[in-house]
């Protein structure tokens, strides 16, 4: 799962395109997460949670890119955000199950 954060970080840091780097970065992250699950189905979206917390995302990204290549804070952000993604997915799943019972 850590690869799902490092690959997009390097992509957005390299910034290969004039436009679309954010979309590409989110696609890379979602793809690597899907591969790490080893499953054809996923019931959560890291992109959605990242967009909800956009201001903090950009702050931690800028701090990481302008720092000394230490990505520990970035990884902590990723893992905390991913944890919230899982909590949100579990809450949604519980609501769906409760409605259908």
Q: What is the pLDDT along the chain (101 residues), one digit of tens a residue?
A: 788 889 889 888 888 888 878 888 888 988 888 888 787 677 888 888 888 888 898 899 999 988 787 899 999 999 999 999 999 999 999 999 888 77
Return the residue matching tokens 């499953």: 39
Neighbouring CB atoms inside 10 A of 3's CB total: 13
Domain ranges within the chain, ordered by starting residue:
3-99
Q: What is the pTM of this model?
A: 0.81
Query: How far is residue 40 from each of residues 2, 76, 86, 101, measured CA to CA in Å?
Result: 20, 27, 17, 26
3-state secondary structure of 60: helix
């Amino acid at each position: 799962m850590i690869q799902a954060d490092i690959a997009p970080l390097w992509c957005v840091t390299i910034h290969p395109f004039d436009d679309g780097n954010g979309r590409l970065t989110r696609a890379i992250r979602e793809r690597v997460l899907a591969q790490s699950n080893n499953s054809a189905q996923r019931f959560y979206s890291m992109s959605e949670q990242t967009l909800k917390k956009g201001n903090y995302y950009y702050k931690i990204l800028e701090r990481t890119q302008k720092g000394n290549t230490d990505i520990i804070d970035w990884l902590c952000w990723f893992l905390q955000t991913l944890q919230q993604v899982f909590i949100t997915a579990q809450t949604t799943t519980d609501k769906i199950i409760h409605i259908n019972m």
